Amino acid sequence: MMKLFFAANTRATRPRWMLEELGVPYELVPVDLPSREHKQPDYLRIHPMGSLPALEDDGHPMFESAAILMHVADKYPEKGLAPAPATPERAEYYQWLMFCMATMEPPLSAYSAHNLFLPELERVPAEAERGRKRFTDIARMLEERLQGREFLVGGRFTAADVVMASILHWAQGMGLLASFPTLGEYTQRQLARPAARRALQA
């Protein structure tokens, strides 16, 4: 059975959502962040950087949220949460997963860190503003891209929607989607899925 190492309000919500969509058995292993359980030797053997999420599949550990989603989608192809290999839809699916992680999330992380989470003396307002501007440019493109679309790829829900909606949900919580109604509607539509509601529960 797969084991998902999990803490609420972290990127571990993404693989939990995916596993709930798949409807397959898995064990949820809580990780206590305030007590720094994620920095202890037992957990560092699972994830050497001491971050979340991590997954054990039949004793084999892996990390990185998008990689975990891609792995479990391919493990259960009959569930249809990834397009068929070597198709144009599969190429677009890879494109959006990589876009989310490499292009979309970093400026949002910078904005969040320098606006909210770093200690006051470590915050650099220029870095927060740079992240906000970059994310706004990205959101403007996505607002146009998602006009008239329910999902990102191939007219059906995939793992790419899990990652995209989770990042947009984060942005929405910081007030960055106020000028982008299509993105707001897309995000709320994905989060209304029963699997997403289960994954987001405490």
Lookup: tokens for 159: 């793992």
Q: Which residues contact 135 (CB under 8 A, 6 or more apart)?
A: 104, 107, 108, 111, 171, 176
Query: Are 29 and 6 a contacting pair, CB within 8 Å?
Result: yes
Which pLDDT score is estimated for 146?
97
- Residue 201's pLDDT is what? 84
Q: How is residue 8 annotated by DSSP?
A: T
User: Domains in the chain and their CATH numbers?
Assistant: 2-80 (3.40.30.10), 88-199 (1.20.1050.10)
pLDDT tens string for the chain (202 positions)? 999 999 999 999 999 999 999 999 999 999 999 999 999 999 999 999 999 999 999 999 999 999 999 999 999 999 999 999 999 999 999 999 999 999 999 999 999 999 998 999 999 999 999 999 999 999 999 999 999 999 999 999 999 999 999 999 999 999 999 999 999 999 999 999 999 999 998 5
Q: Residue 85 region, left (φ>0) first, then alpha (ψ -120 to 50), else beta? A: beta
Q: Which amino acid is at 187?
A: T
pTM: 0.95
* C-alpha to C-alpha distances, 92 to 97, 99, 114, 127, 150, nearest whole angstrom: 9, 10, 32, 31, 15
Which residues touch 70 (CB under 8 Å, ≥6 apart)?
82, 97, 159
Output the pLDDT for position 202: 55
